[in-house]
Amino acid sequence: MQNTPFSTNKTLNIQGRLMDLSIPKIMGILNVTPDSFYDGGQFTTEKNILDHVEKMVQEGANFIDVGGYSSRPGAGDLSEGVEKDRVIMAIELILRNFPDTVISIDTFRSTVAEAAVDAGASMINDISGGALDEKMFETASRMQVPYVIMHMKGNPQTMNHQVAYTNLMKEIIDYFHEKINRLQGMDIKDIIIDPGFGFAKTREHNFHMLHHLQSLSILGKPLLVGLSRKSMIWKTLAVEPEEALNGTTALNTIALLKGADILRVHDVKQAKEVIKLFTSFNDSSS
């Protein structure tokens, strides 16, 4: 038998329902924080949360990614209790009003992840890849939900000072190889990888990574890409994050051409349009 350490997986088991990733999917961002880099403070009341979730779902979001801890560069630390209160309130509110919503919990803390899944979340999205909480892998294994593992060095407070690489793509692939081996050994079946645009990487690193994104296909795992309104766009264009939607659309298109399976975005309608055009483009080649 041929030794193939990583199985190719283009489906996710979401609470017993299979989600097919052969057509790329959209993860809509819901930051219930006062200080996120683009939308901080916009979604801290029940009405604002519900209005935004309804809009994203109607526009075609397949997941809602709920985060209560800002991971923008240099963001301040936050107590576990405050983070947990923020996200549990949002998850319970969403599921009371939109019970079919697939919710991802954006956290690097195992206790927050566990509480969120108990409250109804269906996926864990961990920016630290288990590095900031040694119990996260064990928790993901016990909860048996899809797990998004991102590449980052340090933490949101220190990552901007940890941007030295000898070979960026090799180091990222080696990082994922080691993590996937550990996760699969713990019977975590659905693993999604996220290269971590903007996390412990310079603007040049981000564009290099986007250019070589297809090299991550060697890992055989679904690929999540989060480029939405990030500084690599607005700093390059010399605009503000509020003016970075067109640039986001352009880079999301490149990401799809290079193998992205899930786009994590603030603007769902535009991402849905990109995927529709990309799918038509792909269909025309047959």
Active site members: 230, 264
Q: Are 259 and 217 in contact (CB under 8 A)?
A: yes
Q: Are 127 and 171 in contact (CB under 8 A)?
A: no
What's the rounded Cα separation, in Å, for the pair 124 and 226?
A: 15
What's the rounded Cα separation, in Å, for the pair 207 and 209?
A: 5
For residues 252-274, b (16+ Cβ closer than 10 Å) or e, as one string? bbebbebebbbbbbbbbebbbeb
What's the rounded Cα separation, in Å, for the pair 11 and 22?
A: 8
Encoded tokens for 169: 């793509």
Report which of 229, 276, 237 is spatially closest to residue 40, judged by C-alpha positions. 229
Angle, helix 168-185 to helix 136-143, in steps of 10 degrees: 50
Range list of H helices, the chain? 46-59, 80-97, 110-119, 136-143, 168-185, 203-211, 231-237, 245-257, 268-283
What's the rounded Cα separation, in Å, for the pair 178 and 174?
A: 6
DSSP bridge pairs for 265: 28
Encoded tokens for 12: 């996710």
